[in-house]
Structure 1
Amino acid sequence: MSSISRLLLAIILCASFAAVAAADETADVARAWGLIGTWAADCSAPAVKGRGAIISYEVTPDGSLIYRRDRDPSDLNAVANARVESDQTLVLSIVLPKAKQTRENGITRTPDGSIRALFNRGEDDSYSIRDGRFVANGKPTPVLRKCD
């Protein structure tokens, strides 16, 4: 095997390990914060496709973190990054392939362990949620309780 072939193989292996490590780190941040699981305002309500009333954060067998809405197997979105801010807000970068965009979601934990969205913004800095309220109607985001 030539030196160039060995170098290319080493680069490919390093890139593969780096991608796996990044996925594991994102899942570890979410796990440590307490996010993994299914969340809803009403855990007994049936899932209605497209409503977004039931949110799941799951770790895949390869260690990646995914975001799923309404238990819909076709509505899977990769969480590319997770970080915890100094005020304990969890910030997720979620890749939404159907919408062809990446959005950043900020989530806070309430004293009883429930969660609530504080913001949802696009890469262009457009907000659908700002300061815990939907931009479209000014209503506060719902408190979600852990279902499982």
Structure 2
Amino acid sequence: MTLHLSRLLQITVLTTCAFTSAALADGVADTARDWGLIGTWAVDCSAPPVKGRGTIISYEIASDGSLIYRRDHDASDLNEIADARVDPDQTLVLSIVLSKARQTRENGIAKTADGSIRSVFNRGEDGSYTIRDGRFVANGKLTPALRKCD
């Protein structure tokens, strides 16, 4: 009898975890959709993608409901977005799991007056920034505005 109850409890816990995980994925995708992020974005939508350059960025909802980030239409450059939230200043903050780099980075995206988007920060779990205050840390240049392609 105890074995039966133990198995029933295990099944209940696993089922609850599966539903919770799916609900969280839906919440992340819903946040991005409501903010207006879903789709393909580029500085120049007519330019061809250049693998590894990040000239075309896509935010897509996968068949399982999770949110993914893809660069340059490259099937091998596909990353899960584990969390999404909108800060009080309307910055969309994404927690992107970069599996190839074995790290998670937080990327803040702001809308501009003309409807394009710009990265305003990008930081690692260690607190290191590649983008801060809308500028690349390495050279001080402003991040480019990306326009929606589709």
Give the TM-score normalised by the residue count of structure 2.
Answer: 0.98
Distance (Å, rounded) in 1 between the aligned partners of 2:39 and 2:115: 13
Q: Tell me which amino acid in the other structure corresponds to 2:43.
A: A
* Distance (Å, rounded) in 2 between the aligned partners of 1:39 and 1:51: 14
- Which residue pairs with 1:99 in the alignment? 101
Residue of structure 2 in register with 1:122 after alignment: 124
1:48 corresponding residue in structure 2:
50
Cα separation, 2, equivalents of 1:97 and 1:59? 18
The answer for unaligned runs of 5 or more in structure 2 is none
Question: Any stretches of 5+ residues in structure 1 without a counterpart?
Answer: none
* CA shift for structure 1 position 61: 1.0
Any idea what SS the aligned residue of 2:23 has? helix
Look up the match of 1:25: 27
1:111 deviates by: 1.1
1:139 deviates by 0.3
Match of 2:67 in 1: 65
Q: Provide the C-alpha distance between the structure 1 equivalents of 2:115 and 2:6, rounded to a whole number of angstroms.
A: 54
Question: Identity of counterpart residues, as a percentage?
Answer: 68
Equivalent-residue separation in structure 1 for 2:77 and 2:141 (angstroms):
25
- Superposition RMSD in Å: 0.7
Distance 1:73 1:29 in 2: 24
Deviation track 1:55-101 (CA, whole Å, cap 9, x = no partner) reads 00000111000000000000000000000000000000000011110
Alignment: residue pair count: 148
| Letter matched to residue 79 of structure 1 | I
Q: Equivalences for 1:81-92 in 2 at 5 Å?
A: 81-92=83-94
How far is the alpha carbon of 1:27 from its aligned partner?
A: 0.1
